[in-house]
């Protein structure tokens, strides 16, 4: 299937690994010219052929620095993928609401919500002439806030609401905004020895590998396995395509059937 993306331009944030890296690879394979942003530019990211920008999007000035460099490289933009996120690892992520400090709340909201707000605000003047698309990467935890660290899932819920509001305000000007909400994805969040998965395993008295083996079933994933980053990237790529021209304002769940409600 020709997704009609050849020659179009994109910015992807949080691109060094996981979903971001897979998305950069998928978009470049479709012929898009991509600027990929990350705090640390990894060899794997360089290998995609994207233009890389090392930037910290949790800072107030990081998003404008990124978009300025991206438009200098690409001209006007067709697509923005707000993938950068995190704050679901580190001290006391499994200890409950009372354990979270103001610093942790500010970090979670800054990285998972305000980075997307600032990047979108800076990118929209470039996206509007091209009637471009925005895809925000949220989490199914936005619909099940008890399923992860409270600051993280709360920030993701706000990001999902942000995308819906944008789609209403800018839809008449040709901008499509969609949200992609994965469940557990095979990324460092779960697999890293110092990530959230490892801390959760320790809190449950399990070996890390035991948790990874049991989690899909425990989370109600009818597929019985983690979501692969490439599967999320494929969905993002389709939503970026003109073939998805009537899809906007939607939250697309990709969680192996974990959410059971209609």
pLDDT tens track for 175-209:
999 999 999 999 988 999 988 899 899 989 999 99
For the residues 25-31, what does the mean pLDDT come to? 98
Q: What is the pLDDT of residue 110?
A: 97
pLDDT tens track for 82-113:
999 986 665 668 888 999 999 999 999 999 99
Q: What is the pLDDT of residue 182?
A: 98
Q: Hey, what domains does the chain have and what are their CATH numbers?
A: 9-183+228-253 (3.40.50.720), 187-226 (no CATH)
Annotated catalytic residue, options 45, 120, 152, 237: 152
Residue 196 bears catalytic tag: no
Q: What is the pLDDT of residue 91?
A: 62
Q: What is the pLDDT of residue 146?
A: 87
Percent of the chain with pLDDT over 70: 98
Among 185, 163, 213, which residue's Cα sits nearest to residue 88?
185
C-beta of residue 160 within 8 angstroms of C-beta of residue 136: yes
What pTM does this model have?
Answer: 0.96
For the residues 167-182, what does the mean pLDDT come to? 98
Q: What is the largest CA-CA distance in the chain?
A: 54
pLDDT tens track for 205-235:
999 999 999 999 999 999 999 999 999 999 9
For the residues 38-61, what does the mean pLDDT come to? 97
Q: What is the pLDDT of residue 125?
A: 98
Q: What is the pLDDT of residue 40?
A: 95
């Amino acid at each position: 299937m020709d997704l009609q993306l050849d020659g179009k331009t994109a910015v992807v944030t949080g691109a060094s690994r996981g979903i971001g890296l897979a998305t950069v690879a998928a978009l470049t394979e479709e012929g898009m010219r991509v600027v990929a942003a990350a705090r640390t530019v990894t060899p794997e990211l360089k290998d995609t052929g994207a233009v890389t920008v090392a930037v910290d999007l949790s800072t107030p000035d990081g998003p404008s620095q990124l978009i300025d460099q991206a438009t200098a490289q690409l001209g006007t933009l067709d697509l923005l993928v707000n993938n950068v996120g995190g704050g679901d690892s580190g001290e006391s992520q499994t200890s409950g609401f009372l354990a979270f400090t103001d610093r942790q709340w500010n970090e979670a909201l800054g990285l998972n919500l305000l980075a997307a707000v600032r990047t979108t605000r800076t990118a929209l003047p470039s996206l509007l002439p091209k009637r471009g698309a925005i895809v925000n990467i949220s989490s199914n935890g936005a619909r099940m806030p008890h399923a992860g660290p409270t600051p993280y899932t709360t920030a993701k819920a706000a990001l999902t609401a942000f995308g819906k509001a944008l789609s209403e305000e800018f839809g008449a000007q040709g901008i499509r905004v969609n949200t992609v909400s994965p469940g557990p994805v095979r990324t460092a969040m779960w697999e890293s020895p110092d990530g959230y998965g490892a801390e959760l395993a320790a809190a449950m008295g399990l070996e890390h590998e035991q948790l990874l083996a049991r989690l899909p079933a425990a989370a109600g994933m009818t597929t019985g396995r983690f979501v692969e980053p490439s599967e999320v990237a494929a969905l993002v790529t389709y939503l970026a395509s003109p073939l998805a021209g009537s899809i906007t304002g939607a939250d697309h769940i990709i969680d192996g059937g974990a959410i059971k409600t209609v």
